Amino acid sequence: MIIDKLFKEVEKKGNVCVGLDSHLEYIPDHIKEKYQDVDEILFQFNKNIIDRTMDIVPVYKLQIAFYEAYGIKGLVAYKRTIEYIRNNGIITIGDIKRGDIASTAEMYAKAHFEGDFQVDFITLNPYMGFDSITPYLKYIDKGDKGIFVLLRTSNPGAKDIQYLEISSSEDTQSKKLYYHVGDKLYEMGSKYIGSCGYSSIGAVVGGTHRDEAEEIRGRYKNMFFLIPGYGHQGGKGEDVALYLSDGNGGVVNSSRGIITAYKSYEDGEENYDKYARDAVLAMKEDIESEGRV
Ligand SMILES: O=C(O)c1cc(=O)[nH]c(=O)n1[C@@H]1O[C@H](COP(=O)(O)O)[C@@H](O)[C@H]1O
């Protein structure tokens, strides 16, 4: 199962998920001068970072908006980057955050689990209802695909909806909306638990809010977490480590914190890939220094 592969990669390489959110503004001038086409610029920027970090990175996440924003050529860069990562035997997350009625979701599943944009995991937004998730299950069933579903996100607006206290006919007491979502996903995920003890249905929990971290980790023992919010959004090693279990059970994403790390150095532009590697190593150390919680 794909979750077993992710678990083993984390065991070998640590928890850092590099976010290739490659905005043209983040790309050094020498690359933009060397290549004419935006697909080549984005791909070469990504490739150099991947080549420099793949021995210490278990998974890369591409937020598709950063590629869609550049039209067809942007999507060519998306496709080439995910193919390059997968051809190197490394896991990819397509951060697409989809959520729609079942017939449309079937096409999203086909678009991102097959063909040009095929990745190993995708992110989904469950707030349209659980029938928007079921069309992906047939791919998870086959074993080589997984999903990360938004549970409690990293942005300040997470509180607007996800934290609302709700009561449903199934509950005796009220609970936060994100726990209602989490409980349903946990139940759905129990069919897809790998030999590592985690399910291929994982959840996204923002590393920026730590108050509920222990409760979330304890409540969903078999759930693997994608934890964004480290670095630029303020999340620290001590926050995100609370979502891990014995050093595994989650990957921590940083995008700008890694791919724009070079901007703090005078010789950064020429050595942006080296500074990306240094940022991964520093992040790994920051998380691991919290001990195996
Ligand atoms: O699903 C996500 O990856 C995600 C969920 C969330 O709650 N917060 C969040 O920031 N993200 C994504 O994680 C990345 C964070 O980027 P940086 O803030 O630059 O590290 C972006 O690609 C976001 O779209």
- Confidence bin at 173 (pLDDT 50/70/90): confident
Nearest CA to ligand 1 atom 17: 255
**Average pLDDT in the 2-6 region?**
98
pLDDT digits (tens, 9 = 90+) for 71-107: 999 999 999 999 999 999 999 999 999 999 999 999 9
pLDDT at 118: 98
The whole-angstrom distance between residue 14's C-alpha and the CA centroid of its chain comes to: 14
- Examine the pLDDT at 293 and tell me if it is beyond 70: no
The answer to whether 19 and 65 are in contact (CB under 8 A) is: no
The answer to whether 235 and 242 are in contact (CB under 8 A) is: no
Distance CA 121, CA 84 (A): 16
Distance CA 215, CA 242 (A): 10
**Average pLDDT in the 246-265 region?**
97
Best mutation site among 63, 119, 161, 208 for ligand 1 pocket (most ligand atoms within 8 Å of CB)? 63
- Confidence bin at 233 (pLDDT 50/70/90): very high
- Examine the pLDDT at 171 and tell me if it is beyond 90: no
**CA-atom Rg of the chain in angstroms:** 19
CA distances from 12 to 9, 56, 215, 244, 251 (A): 5, 8, 27, 15, 13
- Examine the pLDDT at 169 and tell me if it is beyond 90: no
Helices (H), the chain: 2-13, 29-34, 38-53, 65-68, 71-87, 102-113, 137-142, 158-161, 177-189, 213-219, 237-240, 256-259, 272-288
Neighbours of 269 (CB within 10 A): 15
Ligand 1 geometric centre to CA of 226 (Å): 10
The answer to whether 47 and 27 are in contact (CB under 8 A) is: no
Ligand 1 geometric centre to CA of 149 (Å): 13
The answer to whether 242 and 210 are in contact (CB under 8 A) is: yes
Best mutation site among 20, 67, 95 for ligand 1 pocket (most ligand atoms within 8 Å of CB)? 95
Nearest CA to ligand 1 atom 12: 228
Query: Of all atoms in ligand 1, which is nearest to the CA of residue 63?
Result: 22
Residues serving a catalytic function are 97
Q: Is the CB of 162 under 6 A from ligand 1?
A: no
Q: Is the CB of 63 under 6 A from ligand 1?
A: yes
Nearest CA to ligand 1 atom 13: 228
CA distances from 167 to 20, 176, 205, 247 (A): 39, 9, 22, 34
Ligand 1 geometric centre to CA of 229 (Å): 6
Q: Which residues contact 191 (CB under 8 A, 6 or more apart)?
A: none
- Examine the pLDDT at 172 and tell me if it is beyond 80: no
pLDDT digits (tens, 9 = 90+) for 133-152: 999 999 999 999 999 999 99
- Examine the pLDDT at 292 and tell me if it is beyond 80: no
Distance CA 90, CA 80 (A): 14
Ligand 1 geometric centre to CA of 59 (Å): 14
pLDDT at 136: 98
Domains and CATH numbers, the chain: 2-287 (3.20.20.70)
pLDDT digits (tens, 9 = 90+) for 27-83: 999 999 999 999 999 999 999 999 999 999 999 999 999 999 999 999 999 999 999
pLDDT at 267: 96
**Average pLDDT in the 251-280 region?**
97
**Average pLDDT in the 153-173 region?**
89
Whole-number average pLDDT of the chain: 96
Distance CA 32, CA 37 (A): 9
Q: Is the CB of 257 under 6 A from ligand 1?
A: yes
The tokens 């599943």 sit on which residue?
A: 109
Q: What are the backbone dihedrals phi and psi of residue 200, each rounded to the nearest 5 degrees, phi first?
A: -75, -5
Ligand 1 geometric centre to CA of 204 (Å): 9
